[in-house]
Structure 1
Amino acid sequence: MAVTVETLEKLERKITLSLPVEVIQNEVSKRLTKLARTVKMDGFRPGKVPMNVVAQRYGYSVHYEVMNDKVGEAFSAAANEAKLRVAGQPRISEKEESPEGQMSFDAVFEVFPEVKLGDLGAAEIERLSSDVSDAAIDKTLDILRKQRRTFAQKAATEAAADGDRVTVNFEGKIDGEPFQGGKADDFQFLVGEGQMLKEFEDAVRGMKVGESRTFPLSFPADYHGKDVAGKQADFMVTLNKIEAAHLPEVNEALAKSLGIADATVEGLRSDIKKNLEREVKFRLQARNKAAVMDALIANAELDLPNASVQAEIGRMIEGARNDLKSRGIKDADKAPIPEEVVRPQAERRVRLGLVVAELVRANELQAKPEQIKAHVQELAASYEKPSEVERWYYSDMNRLAEVEGVVIENNVAEFVLAKAKVVDKAITFDELMAQQG
């Protein structure tokens, strides 16, 4: 088989393939003969259909199949012989002129690029650190207590205050007209927790049971109710009931109710600290990993294979439509998502994937089985039955592949941080928790 490789531009290549016509015809005959043994056709017993009838009915599709298979095999062999790393599928077209007894094809395709990694020692990367303070433990304890609070009715002489649960009737009008969602009876909410718009909370705060109050309320321009967003309404609210919140004491009973093995206050605080430290570790890893990846992209030179970018764009659009579908959006699978919207992110993902792959290959940063096991154990540790969670991960190759990907990224981050100019920066627990991701 004669193979010629031509560089068209950057990553695009062309291979000319030649196949003997006789090889094609022999394979077509072989497949038709095999098909004739089992094919069922009206008027003939199974296995007794004449060959010319089988060829007439199935000849075209079998010939198409054989051509696809043989050209595919020839392309793979030629690419292997030329030691080419092919990106995506080749575009194959038959040449108009071929030597006698031969069929010739042009296969146009892209190859993966050479990745030039810059001097990592010159890269400056900010590495964040954070600690779990007593204040963070106290704040988490307060959240746990609020989740377990009970309510008791307040005396008729007492007014509604922050933390109370109130039951109200209300009716709102815009330009004197009622609007959808603007009226409710025996509606409950907690004062001071942002469940209602500020003007509504301000009006109810300080009211007593049986009182009514009118007040203006301006809906924000970005309010979820599109019909009233940006408009002003007049409301009347009547207070039916006020219940004061009672938070459980921080004691052994609370620790026991939370399923803490060491059911003491010290055991409870220790358990909270351990869980917060795990969360801090994961968040810091994610933030520092993102800084490393930014530095890698900035320090690398490479051309992007369009086939890989297009494939990533397809995956991202499919993912976006699946997300819309999960939210109950009608016809989500047909939602128009322009390629140019996701192209920059797709290009970044492909670029980063190629750079990381080269770094992993060149420095043997693959995930080791013991690293994967340790990461799975860490993920499972916060659950009530860690061993079951570990089995859940190991029972699915896709889940395990995701863990492997994270471990590889961690290996890459550690490798790069060991070489780069690192600027350490300590941030508070609250700052870390406020950051996305």
Structure 2
Amino acid sequence: MKITKKTTKGLKREFDIKISSKEIEERINQKLSEIALTAKIPGFRPGKIPTSILKARIGKEVRGEVLQNFIDEASKKAIQDENLQPVTKPSIDVKKYDEGSDLSASLTLEVMPIIKHIDFSKIKLSKFTAKVGDKEINDALDRIGKQNQQTQPIKKARKSKMGDTLVIDFEGKMDNVPFEGGAGKGHHLSLGSNSFIPGFEEGLVNLAAGSTKELKLSFPKDYGMEKLAGKKVSFEVKVHEIRELVNVKFDDDFAKGLGMPGIKELKKAISDQISNEHNNITRSKMKKNLLDILDNKYDFELPKGMIDQEYNSVCQSLTKEKNAKDIKQDLENKEGAKPDENMTKDEKKDAKNIAERRVKLGLLMGEIGRNNNLDITEEEINQAVMAEAQKYPGQEKQVLDYFKKNKEASQNLAGPLFEEKVFNFICEMADVKEKIVSTEELYSDDEDGKKAIKKTDIKKSKVKK
């Protein structure tokens, strides 16, 4: 076997591989002799099967296996002899081979770029933090109160208005025929909740308890059930009772209804939850700041193969986000269509920039981790699996079984863990300055964060209507 370096251009390395027919045939015969010791063929005793018989029966399969082993060995030897660190899977192209002749092939790969030493002490990061104020706690408490607010029958007879809860029976018909899912009895409907189709709740305003009303409406054209979308229907509605909201009193009894010892402990739990949300945004902004610095400050050649792979992945994601059926159908109809087939010039440019940034930062973080012996242990992966399982209460066993049967899924958790470990390492070395900001400033330019601060996981276990 002869390996010759052919090309060294940038990160690309190319080798010529030549394996003589003599080496190939010797390896094939050796393999056949090994098989002959245990092979069973009618009419022959074990270990006495002629090589020519075996070659006639399984020679093609053995030859393929031998050639593959030779190519794998050649790839490994080329990489080891040149002390290379491949970043993409080596590509093998068999140039010439016929049975009984020499094999000629080319090996092409891309290697890890040279990344200069990074002095983390010169990296300046801002740590934006916000204190949890009484207003945030009280606002969250108000939201919890509304989520768990009870109703009671109106004390004085009057007609219904928006904000009331009506106890109703209803039956919907299309062309005078009841349709599936269009009826209910004793249903509690909050007027203004928009839980029914447009016009339904509005049509029940200004009604007295005990009254009946027919509503003639139309389902929205984009309604989820195709057989009802855009169709005209009528509803016969009977109002049994009008209920109004009970003002919430935030005291120990309210807190106990949520499973907390008292109102003080409830407020502390709310404060802790908001603080955790703030900390997550603080960390997210620090990480983005760091990645921007690394992206702008360090420049090195990027492996084209990695860029191409990431570009295709980005294009596929962007295409899915368009949510356009005609584009999706068009792609499905074109066999072998490129991921950027229906993308504009600007969209392709954006996808390329995203791909290059991801590849650069991935290589940088990986290099920092390797140079500083940062590894993810099996115990850390197991802890991450447990954390994933806890996200699905009541289904923990199924989640754990999934990860147990799919080792690749478990290993996929290692990527984010490694990134977090590298990020923590850099932050310990960098010049980090804390800056106290308002909640609004902390969440500026962060839509996910704005949504997070408006929600709470504290819910009442049972709410009476």
Aligned-pair CA distance for 1:17: 2.6
Which residue is equivalent to 2:358?
349
Does residue 1:287 correspond to 2:316, yes or no? no
Confirm or deny that 1:52 pairs with 2:52.
yes
Could you say which residue in structure 1 is the equivalent of 2:298? 300
CA distance in 2, matches of 1:296, 1:222: 46
Q: Assess if the C-alpha contact under 8 Å between 2:5 and 2:15 holds in 1.
A: yes
Distance 1:251 1:352, change over 3 A: same
Query: Compared with structure 1, are the counterparts of its residues 50 and 365 closer, same or farther at alpha carbon in structure 2 (3 Å cutoff)?
Result: closer
CA contact (8 A) 1:167 1:242 kept: no
Of residues 419, 431, 435 in structure 2, which corresponds to 1:418?
Answer: 431
Separation in 2, partners of 1:61, 1:55? 9
- Any conservation in 2 of the 1:160–1:208 contact (CA below 8 Å)? no
Q: Secondary structure at the match of 1:89?
A: coil
Question: After superposition, what is the alpha-carbon deviation per residue over 1:349-378, rounded to whole angstroms, capped at 9, x for unaligned?
Answer: 32321122234445x383687x969x97x9
Question: Matched residues in 1 for 2:320 and 2:30: separation?
Answer: 44
- Aligned counterpart, 2:264: 266
Deviation at 1:281, TM superposition (A): 1.6
Contact preservation (8 Å) 2:13, 2:109 = yes
Could you tell me how far 1:237 is from its partner in structure 2? 7.3
Q: Distance in 2 between matches of 1:57 and 1:415?
A: 65
Q: Equivalents in 2 of 1:402, 1:436: separation in Å?
A: 25
User: What residue identity is the alignment partner of 2:160?
Assistant: A
Superposition map of 1:33-432 within 5 A: 33-44=33-44, 47-96=47-96, 103-115=103-115, 128-154=128-154, 157-162=158-163, 164=165, 167=168, 169=170, 184-186=183-185, 188-196=188-196, 200-209=200-209, 210=211, 212=213, 219=220, 238=237, 240=239, 241-246=241-246, 249-260=249-260, 263-312=261-310, 339-340=339-340, 344=352, 345-362=354-371, 364=372, 366=374, 398=411, 401=414, 404-411=417-424, 414=427, 418=431, 426-428=438-440
Q: Which moved more, 1:247-256 or 1:117-126?
A: 117-126
Partners in 2 of 1:118 and 1:142 — Cα distance?
A: 49
**Corresponding position of 1:434:** 450
After superposition, the Cα gap between the structure-2 partners of 1:409 and 1:135, relative to the gap in structure 1 and judged at 3 Å, is: farther
Measure the CA separation in 1 of the matches of 2:205 and 2:135.
29
Q: Deviations over 1:68-119 (max 9, x none)?
A: 112211221211221222122222234559xx99644321222233346899
Q: Could you tell me whether the CA contact under 8 Å between 1:160 and 1:166 is conserved in 2? A: no
Q: What's the TM-score, normalizing by structure 1?
A: 0.70
Q: Is the 8 A contact 2:90 2:107 kept in 1?
A: yes
Q: Which moved more, 1:335-344 or 1:147-156?
A: 335-344
Per-residue deviation at 1:18? Answer: 3.6
For residues 399 and 87 of structure 1, do their structure 2 counterparts lie closer, same or farther at Cα, with a shift above 3 Å needed? closer
* CA shift in 2, pair 1:435/1:151, >3 Å: closer
**CA offset digits 1:123-157 (Å, max 9, x no partner):** 88775433333233334334444554444444653
Report the AA paired with residue 357 of structure 1.
G
**Partner Cα separation in structure 2 for residue 307 and residue 37 of structure 1:** 45
Are 2:3 and 2:74, in contact at CA under 8 Å, matched by a contact in 1? no
In the TM superposition, what is the alpha-carbon distance from 1:296 to its structure 2 partner? 2.5
State the SS of the aligned residue for 2:89. strand
CA distance in 2, matches of 1:119, 1:301: 15
Residue-by-residue CA offset, 1:309-342 (whole Å, 9 max, x unaligned): 455567779999999xxxxxxx9xx898952279
Aligned pairs, number: 412
**Inter-CA distance 84–45: structure 2 relative to 1 (3 Å threshold):** same
Contact 1:164 1:191 in 2 (8 A): yes
Decide whether the 8 Å contact of 2:374 with 2:422 is kept in 1: no
TM-score of the aligned structures, taking structure 2 as reference length: 0.66
Assess if the C-alpha contact under 8 Å between 1:292 and 1:417 holds in 2.
no
Deviation at 1:55, TM superposition (A): 1.0
Worse-superposed segment, 344-353 or 408-417: 408-417
- Residue 24 of structure 1 is matched in structure 2 by 24
1:326 equivalent in structure 2:
none
Aligned twin of 2:326: none
State whether residues 36 and 48 of structure 2, in contact with CA within 8 Å, keep that contact through their aligned partners in structure 1.
yes
Q: CA RMSD in A?
A: 5.3
Please state whether the residue corresponding to 2:87 is helix, strand or coil: strand
291-300 vs 162-171, which moves further: 162-171
Q: Determine the C-alpha separation between the residues in 1 that align with 2:115 and 2:224.
A: 47
Q: CA deviation at 1:251?
A: 3.6
Residue aligned with 1:287, SS: helix
User: Which consecutive residues of structure 2, in runs of 5 or more, have no partner in the other structure?
Assistant: 322-328, 454-465
Match of 1:328 in 2: none
C-alpha contact 1:125 1:295 (8 A) present in aligned 2: no
What letter is aligned with 2:163? D
Contact 1:75 1:107 in 2 (8 A): yes
- Deviations, residues 195-236 of structure 1 (Å, cap 9, x unaligned): 3567554444454332537688895x876567888x797976
